[in-house]
């Protein structure tokens, strides 16, 4: 097995975030695939608390509140460095 040192870039966001007309997390995955990153994963959060100290949990779905998402992108540091300017334009907050 070929083990290589890779790094993970983690983005915390919300389901409701958009990039154009599509969910931001879908566009980030699309961009990672276009750049042939080693891996990308999107996970929905069950419970979170951000800088605004508001508690978000899966029970909020009943009231239509969006859940938090975590997007993880895996690859070599050099490849992350080239993709960061694009991601910074996509992720506004």
CA 39 to chain centroid, in Å, comes to 12
**Domain boundaries of the chain, sorted by first residue:** 7-90
Residue 49: the pLDDT is: 73
d(CA 75, CA 9): 8
Residue 60: the pLDDT is: 53
Residue 28: the pLDDT is: 97
Q: Which residues neighbour 92 within 8 Å (Cβ) at sequence distance 6 or greater?
A: none
Task: Indicate the CATH number of 7-90 among 3.20.20.80, 3.30.70.120, 3.40.50.300, 2.120.10.30.
Answer: 3.30.70.120
The pLDDT profile of the chain, 93 residues, written as one tens digit per residue, is: 466 789 999 999 888 899 999 999 999 999 999 999 999 999 988 777 777 777 666 665 555 667 889 999 999 999 999 999 999 999 986
Residue 23: the pLDDT is: 96
Residue 68: the pLDDT is: 85
Residue 27: the pLDDT is: 97
Please check whether residue 82 is in contact with residue 16, taking contact to mean a CB–CB distance below 8 angstroms: no
């Amino acid at each position: 097995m070929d083990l290589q040192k890779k790094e993970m870039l983690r983005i915390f966001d919300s389901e409701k975030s958009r990039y154009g007309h599509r969910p931001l997390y879908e566009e980030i995955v699309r961009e990672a695939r276009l750049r042939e990153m080693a891996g990308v994963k999107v996970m929905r959060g069950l419970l979170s608390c951000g800088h605004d100290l508001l508690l978000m949990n899966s029970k909020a779905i009943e009231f239509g509140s969006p859940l938090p998402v975590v997007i993880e992108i895996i690859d070599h540091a050099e490849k992350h460095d080239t993709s960061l300017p694009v991601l910074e334009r996509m992720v506004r907050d």
